[in-house]
Structure 1
């Protein structure tokens, strides 16, 4: 009993001693603190990966929208672009984990053909949390890019590299009401002025390249020409070229007074072939198969409604003297809106600069040709307009254009709109 009483003193003293208590508490709490720090670090890492993946999705959606704006329409092609860009941003699951939709299937922009949505799936192994939970961490991020509407263009040069793809010279006076000029050339002087006495008035000018307005002829409604823009899509790229069959002699085209040829194909011998008589065209397609030049000259005229003049085999067209070319394109059918059609591969050049001017309702469409144009819209009705779309376009003389093409059957080229992330 005495020995037990002797032990009670030291034990009581031990339990009442407060020295070192904090160390004991810390020893007991340390595993929980370490676990909390580990969980915090791991969840912070998850959030970092989510943000990195969101940046990759943003870049992928924006890049896919840029491709769509430039004319790529296939979702598989857009997805391929998005996948490459997302991989640069750190995305690693390949095509199996990426979803692209244009238009988006859901969200605020569901069904909007101007929007592109991209979703990226991500999977990563657990670290500390694997002690308590099994399976990978999986999450999905998404982004939607919207292509804003561009502006209509009345004049478009399709050549991708020419200097002076759109050129304005001499004492030219060109007025474009409610529309732009656009050149797809990457040249530093894609749009160029060459005459001190010239004036070109338009809403704006756009080009992937640059603008050389050293003569100060551009009078634009925008603050400055838009340079470094995406090329403008060819609005008639899907229109098939007429089939060249059996061709009659060009003399049969001018037979009669006035000549009233039926639609069909006419051979154009090498050299200059002058048409110096009045010609009244019925509606339809007239094919001129080169290699020569069709020259409209003298105090005569060529008129017609619902007409498409197609030039191929190197055939070219020149209007000079006081000849009056006054034709209107079809407003429906395969060649709706195209008054003059130059072959995409072997068309000649077009010089439409007669002294009386040229009055064409519809498009002068010659993607592989040099087009020189002088024309007026003085006698046009409501909704009648002129478009000039060539490989290159030169203005020499006065010309007038209007964006109201509602009764012309045309398809407007549209300058590239902006792209912004909206979701």
Structure 2
């Protein structure tokens, strides 16, 4: 009986031991302690990285605004001084600060100010989970952190697709009437006097004017500094006849008879106009007096760009098409002397309308220039119905600094060129169904053209 009691006691003790759960948590904690410590370590360090990066970003933001507001020769010094006030000193404690005034801006220019701050923090408990950081400094593993800020300057250039130089003193260098079908794709317009848009804002981003800008552009901006003629200096590239220039004796002028026009047979163009061109340089070609198309005409430049100088004469399309062939590029230069001569692309037909479809060269002294009127000319320059008579399909710059240009039809890119049309004249009158179709700022660079720009006042602001 006693043996039986002992056995029963042992069984009871074993049963109690089997059902006893005290100490189980210790076992579980022993198993989980390593991942828990690792998670806490990572959480602690990530929080530390975030707080340090946040402080670094605040420093970069303030420094970028300071640099853009300064906008002077010592902009970088001021930016670094501001960052130092936040505890980030260039060259100290492995901190490096880079400051630039050529950062990309939202408007496509490279005139914004950027501040980049880079530093390192040592790794602590995150090493428990095997994180090794980015580098080793002084024998310790380090994590690289950085912040970047970009700010627009207080004044910044804005690319222009239309510039009215207004040297004649006309009250409104740009004026629209009716409802022109204009889409400048956000490109901007500028008048060196006033700008008055009635019925259409031209689809331009900014409508700048030195005087008052009224309804021109999505955002009219008045009292902008005058834009100096950016292309007058190209006149030094205008070639001259090697012999005697065009004079009244050899400059054949058009004569009119009712609704028709005629000119000497020497000055009639049709079929192919083969100009000397070169893949290495621009070749010069000359025509003297008024030039009249008697049929559609294609300009071939033998695989290279060419300059076609029309001296003391106009280009009358006479209801026909003048175009550059694929792979050809030409700059039409109108030069000579002022007086009774016309110096412009015209179309004297009644209603039939010709087509001027040319692409300017992408390289060389005339890079990006499709039409150029000699700025020394003062008369015979105006165009009365551009876009309608004739239709303009042009890639590049149309430069007519003393001309009054009336737009009445569609202006579009050349079939053989880039989506880039930039017009510079004394003044523009835009009416009826005039259409200024899309100009892609990026494609102007592809066309070889450096666009004119207006310096517009603005608020310094962070853009990144």
Aligned residue in 2 for 1:236? 231
* 1:261-276 map, 5 Å: 261-262=275-276, 263-268=284-289, 274-276=292-294
- SS of the aligned residue for 1:238 comes to helix
Cα shift at 1:241 = 4.1
Aligned residue in 2 for 1:394? 429
TM (norm. structure 2) is 0.52
- SS of the aligned residue for 1:406 comes to helix
Aligned residue in 2 for 1:137? none
Q: Distance in 2 between matches of 1:258 and 1:382?
A: 19
2:344 is equivalent to residue 337 of structure 1: no
Q: Distance in 1 between matches of 2:76 and 2:266?
A: 58
Task: Determine if contact 1:255/1:261 at 8 Å carries over to the other structure.
Answer: no
2:323 is equivalent to residue 323 of structure 1: no
Aligned residue in 2 for 1:32? none
Aligned length: 281
Aligned residue among 294, 298, 301 for 2:322: 301
Aligned residue among 64, 69, 79 for 1:108: 79
Cα shift at 1:325 = 0.8
Cα shift at 1:408 = 1.2
Aligned residue in 1 for 2:166? 159
Q: Distance in 2 between matches of 1:412 and 1:360?
A: 15
Q: Distance in 2 between matches of 1:344 and 1:379?
A: 25
Task: Determine if contact 2:346/2:389 at 8 Å carries over to the other structure.
Answer: no
Task: Determine if contact 1:253/1:259 at 8 Å carries over to the other structure.
Answer: no
- SS of the aligned residue for 1:277 comes to strand
Aligned residue in 1 for 2:382? 349
2:222 is equivalent to residue 227 of structure 1: yes
Aligned residue among 249, 271, 296 for 1:257: 271
Q: Distance in 1 between matches of 2:158 and 2:395?
A: 21
- SS of the aligned residue for 1:333 comes to coil
Aligned residue in 2 for 1:413? 452
Cα shift at 1:294 = 2.7
- SS of the aligned residue for 2:180 comes to strand
Aligned residue in 2 for 1:211? 213
Aligned residue in 2 for 1:28? none
Q: Deviations over 1:267-302 (max 9, x none)?
A: 225xxx533322222231111111x43321224333
Aligned residue among 287, 295, 303 for 1:277: 295
Aligned residue in 2 for 1:169? 177
Q: Deviations over 1:228-264 (max 9, x none)?
A: 1112343324323412224686755645533435541
Structure 1 gap segments, 5+ residues each: 1-61, 66-100, 116-144
* 1:60-99 map, 5 Å: none
Q: Distance in 2 between matches of 1:241 and 1:336?
A: 11
Change (3 A) 1:379 1:339: closer
Aligned residue in 2 for 1:286? 308
- SS of the aligned residue for 1:165 comes to strand
Q: Distance in 1 between matches of 2:213 and 2:460?
A: 29
Change (3 A) 1:421 1:164: closer
TM (norm. structure 1) is 0.57
- SS of the aligned residue for 2:190 comes to strand
Q: Distance in 1 between matches of 2:393 and 2:460?
A: 44
Task: Determine if contact 1:233/1:413 at 8 Å carries over to the other structure.
Answer: no
Q: Distance in 2 between matches of 1:253 and 1:383?
A: 30
Q: Distance in 1 between matches of 2:73 and 2:377?
A: 36
Q: Deviations over 1:363-414 (max 9, x none)?
A: 1012222223343337768952101111112224222131332321111122
Change (3 A) 1:241 1:177: same
- SS of the aligned residue for 2:295 comes to coil
